Structure 1
Amino acid sequence: MTELSGQSSFDSHKPPARDLLDDCVHCGFCLPTCPTYQLWGEEMDSPRGRIYLMDLAERGEIGLEGAFFQHIDACLGCMACVTACPSGVQYDRLLEATRPQLERNVRRSTSDRFFRNAVFALFPYRRRLRLAAVLGLLYQKSGLPKLLERILPPRLRAAQALLPPVRLREAFATLPRRIRPSGPVRRRVALLSGCVQDVFFHEVNAATQRVLAAEGCEVLTPRRQGCCGALGLHAGREEHAVDRAKRTIATFEGLPVDAIVVNVAGCGSSMKEYVHLLADDPEWAQRARDFSAKVRDVNELLAELEPRAPRRRMDAKVAYHDACHLGHAQGVREQPRALLRTIPGLEVVDLPEADLCCGSAGIYNLVQPEPAAELGERKANNIRDVAPDLLVTANPGCLLQIRRYLGDEIPMLHPIQLLDEAINGEPR
């Protein structure tokens, strides 16, 4: 139990900054945008309520255990409040300073620690993910998922339901290390292939390479790359995030490229935040600044280029779902819509409650399955309301989360896959 002596309950390593805490005037503009406040109507499960708790902990008036821990742990980290805040409160910086404090100073239950450690022992490692893909395929074909669905505990039930459709050929496929455009080179870029993305969404990486090349980009994809640290950063595992950030910077910084392209919203958000993550490290601070300045979401980069490749007509109604770490964290909202509208015949529609998280949020739908399920159902119903022919979103976690609640009702793609079909492919 933390001693309440008037001194901060946070340790001295990067606690939430007093000036950032003082920016919040508790106006309440964040309340309608916060998923957990929408679910429960509890003040301490709103952004301003959590900032109030951080303020009390920083003053040493409450400890980090108990209610403080529970309310911070329940936050999705979707950053919708950052978009909504008229005072410019940097809740993202506050949350990313607070979560590592909890991971260092509050002991989780044995079962919670075991589950989270299992997640981080698997997801950042492509070889382990490929083995998991083989086992997952066998499991899906065994008939066990239906038998176990009702008896599994909530977290394992969520993990089972979120298993992506496994295609072993794609899970073990490799990307070309260099692709050149047929015409003049407009940009030279490097592509993050990632960990989960490379194994379970390899076709999105391949489509990204093809579209970039069609639009005049030379694409380098380093073979020796891996997890960027996004899951660890958003879960408060600072040591993991720092290690992965340094490895990623070392992999890409020597490449002669104009930009580092990412097609996963959560990864791109984290890579742009390396500048903050490593700001206090004299050896890496400048390297992180230089690296983060080059990071571009693929939609962001393509929107900077005048379309060059012809698009075939696609008469369809497409709903676009804003991934939180693309729209809120990176401010990339109009670019994906603008790119989709370059496809003749395509009608792009927005969703009701477009700013409300779908419940994926990194590993949130695994570690907090009940509220994630409520948000997933809510998002699925909002999608049904606009009756699209197709749903597109730029984050694999969102695709898996929404697929769980929509099933096969509506086809789902990454926007770059739809663009690839219009430029290079045949109709589905």
Structure 2
Amino acid sequence: MQTNFTPEQLTDPGVARANEILRACVHCGFCTATCPTYQVLGDELDSPRGRIYLIKDMLENDRPADARTVKHLDRCLSCLACMTTCPSGVHYMHLIDHARAHVERTHKRPMMDRLLRWTLAKIVPYSGRFRLAMLGAKIARPFAGLLPDARLRAMISMAPKQIPPVSRNDDAQTFPAIGARKYRVALQIGCAQRALNTDINDATIRLLRRLGCEVVIPRNLGCCGALTHHMGREDDSHAQAAHNIRAYLSEGDLDAVIINTSGCGTTVKDYGHMFRNDPRAADAAKVAGLACDVSEFLERIGLPEGAPKGLRVAYHAACSLQHGQQIKTAPKDLLRKAGFEVVEPVDSHLCCGSAGTYNLLQPEISAELKARKVATLEAKSPQIIAAGNIGCMIQIGSGTEVPIVHTVELLDWATGGPRPPSLPERL
């Protein structure tokens, strides 16, 4: 794609990177075939190619984002299926992230939009605040139908029926390896995940310890910055990321930073890019290089074979794992090695509609994508659904009676850990 940025514009590192990405695009349209919003809406401007044109026009003309551009950029899930499909290597993730930051700086949203986004940014990344908000949502659920905004109704409906008690395993501490120590790893404990489901971290710690890992929960660990990053709130996201970089590096030598929420993993692995023009660039790149999805790490160090359990597991591939991190086979291979029968739904490359805060800010599109995903998963007649991202688990779980658990919970169970608490006894 031909671009026409001025030399002055290209002195901005963000614009220079956008220029590189735009020039890689050859307008082929392969991305439209795998874009979930284009599948649902059928509008070229709701495809990656269409959004690229909008971003190019906005950035080249150095103008504030207009309402039309914002509407179509907001509808992007950041699922990154387009990056998997693109034959030209267009790094759409960096482009849409830069565009969203430009929108945040230059566009004044309607009051309700600003209020909702501010609320999400100030609550979801903080597990204590998020717990209180979910409690409030549970109390308000009987009155949800009276709310005038579909996004408010979505926020109320997404609150789980049961809010788990705080797990002390998420406190700063070190868990010794069981047997000889082979590895020393830090665990990213998450923010929303700590409030929504404490079983995932518990299972991760148990499994890693049995495999010879000393597991460190660093002091002062917080949100990785993913949620605010994808909302274009660069100051917030970079502050959160910098905080975590300091926390990890304060722990000394580590063999890996283990992440069991793939949406977080995609962002942490991109810290080197986020801080490329910052004095902390080397530290950020070091942490990014240590970051591993838990399935990626387990594949690396080896998992003992489990006895066949006779259970049919439908594996849902989170977009942030299969597209953002290009981890596609490890979770399925590990589940099979652990003794499960693994099946995949058709169109497994398509998003479930969770996408961070997308299901709260774009509830209608999200609901359509959820219905499609649940239908394809249930068509495989699974006894269990497995996924590697808490957002996907909450989204899919709200649309099916099939129990859904994190992949690591099943691997822990199959190799000596307890049955995942969310599984019924009949299985």
Could you tell me the TM-score, scaled by structure 2's length? 0.91
What is the CA deviation profile of residues 50-106 of structure 1, one whole-angstrom value per residue up to 9, with x for unaligned ones? 112222223329762022221111111110000000111111111111100000000
- Which position in structure 2 is the counterpart of 1:30? 31
Superposed CA RMSD in Å reads 2.3
Match of 1:219 among 204, 207, 215: 215
CA distance in 2, matches of 1:41, 1:338: 35
Give the one of 390, 400, 405 matched to 2:394: 400
Q: Distance in 2 between matches of 1:298 and 1:223?
A: 20
- Classify the secondary structure of the residue corresponding to 1:30: helix
Equivalent in the alignment of 2:225: 229
Judge which range, 122-131 or 46-55, deviates more: 122-131
CA distance in 2, matches of 1:191, 1:115: 30
- Report the AA paired with residue 270 of structure 2: E
Which moves more between the two structures, 172-181 or 417-426?
Answer: 172-181
CA shift for structure 1 position 312? 4.2
Alignment match, 1:425: 418
Amino acid at match of 1:417: E
Please say if residues 10 and 58 of structure 1, whose CA atoms lie closer than 8 Å, have aligned partners that are also in contact. no
Deviation at 1:174, TM superposition (A): 4.1
The more displaced of 195-204 and 86-95 is 195-204
- Work out which of the residue numbers 283, 299, 304 in structure 2 matches 1:303: 299
Q: Secondary structure at the match of 1:101?
A: helix
**Partners in 2 of 1:306 and 1:373 — Cα distance?**
38
Q: d(CA) in 1 for partners of 2:124 and 2:373?
A: 25
Is 2:254 aligned against 1:257? yes
Q: Which moved more, 1:416-425 or 1:262-271?
A: 416-425
Separation of aligned partners in 1, 2:264 and 2:341: 28
Matched residue SS, 1:156: helix
Q: Say if 2:260 and 2:389, in contact at 8 Å, map to a contact too.
A: yes
Which residue number in structure 2 is paired with residue 239 of structure 1? 235
Structure 2 residue corresponding to 1:334, chosen from 329, 333, 338: 329
Does the alignment pair 1:275 with 2:272? yes
**Superposed displacement of residue 132, structure 1:** 3.1
Unpaired stretches in structure 1, ≥5 consecutive residues: none
Query: How far 1:322 moved relative to its partner?
Result: 0.8
TM-aligned CA deviation for residue 129 of structure 1: 2.3
- State whether residues 64 and 107 of structure 2, in contact with CA within 8 Å, keep that contact through their aligned partners in structure 1: no
Residue identity over aligned pairs, in percent, reads 37
Residue by residue, what CA displacement relative to the aligned partner does 1:316-339 show, whole Å, maximum 9, x if unpaired?
110111111111000111111111
Closer, same or farther in 2 for the Cα pair 1:153/1:56, shift >3 Å?
closer
**Matched residue SS, 1:235:** coil
- Whole-angstrom CA distance in 2 between matches of 1:117 and 1:410: 34
Question: CA-to-partner distance for each residue in 1:109-153, whole Å, 9 max, x for gaps?
Answer: 00100011111111111221233354455x2xxxx5245336552
SS at match of 1:169: coil
Question: Mapping of 1:181-200 within 5 angstroms?
Answer: 181-200=177-196
2:197 equivalent to 1:201: yes
1:10 Cα deviation after fit: 11
Residue segments in structure 2 that go unaligned for 5+ positions in a row: none
SS at match of 1:315: coil
1:398 is aligned with what amino acid? C
Evaluate the alpha carbon distance shift between residue 11 and residue 171 of structure 1 in structure 2; reply closer, same or farther with a 3 A threshold: farther
Name which of 135, 146, 149 aligns with 2:145: 149
Kindly provide the amino acid, as one letter, of the partner of residue 14 in structure 1.
G
Q: Does 1:376 align with 2:376?
A: no
Q: Say which is worse superposed, 170-179 or 35-44, in terms of deviation.
A: 170-179
CA distance in 2, matches of 1:121, 1:369: 20
Query: 2:376 is aligned with what amino acid?
Result: N
1:368/1:275 Cα in 2 relative to 1: closer, same or farther (>3 Å)?
same
CA deviations 1:199-241 (Å, max 9, x no partner) are: 2221100100001111111111124211110101111111111
Q: Where does 1:126-145 land on structure 2 (aligned, <5 Å)? A: 126-136=127-137, 139=139, 145=141
> Match for residue 120 of structure 2?
119
* Deviation, structure 1 residue 164: 2.4
Inter-partner Cα distance in structure 2 for 1:393 and 1:152: 33
The total of aligned residue pairs comes to: 414
Distance in 1 of aligned mates of 2:384 and 2:236: 37
CA gap 1:421/1:97 in 2 versus in 1, 3 angstroms: same
